[in-house]
Amino acid sequence: MILEVAVLNVKPGRTQDFEKDFQTAAQYISSIQGYIKHSLQKCIEVDNQYLLLVEWTSVEAHEVGFRQSPQYQEWKALLHDYYNPFPQVLHYKSL
């Protein structure tokens, strides 16, 4: 299992729209082979910051299976305009 981690800084004043659109976008990521589960956490101290955690069977499931899919284009169209700056996405594995 691989854990994808992204800190999402949403443009001020756009958090409610982001949360609504994320609910729609979740269907796209969850339809990909190799997807296990995800969670979106809202920061308590920083109002417009979120933590996205996605479990995948492999890095390739995320980087190839999702990012090279038509579903990613839908995800991107819904969500990428909300971020400032664009998030760094990293992958982690259990020891």
Domain ranges of the chain: 2-93
pLDDT grade for 20, boundaries at 50, 70 and 90: very high
Nearest to 74 by CA among 5, 36, 26, 12: 26
What average pLDDT score do residues 6-10 get? 98
The pTM is what? 0.95
- Inter-axis angle of helices 15-30 and 70-79, nearest 10: 170
What average pLDDT score do residues 51-78 get? 98
- Is the distance from CB of 59 to CB of 28 less than 8 angstroms? no
Architecture of domain 2-93: 2-Layer Sandwich (3.30)
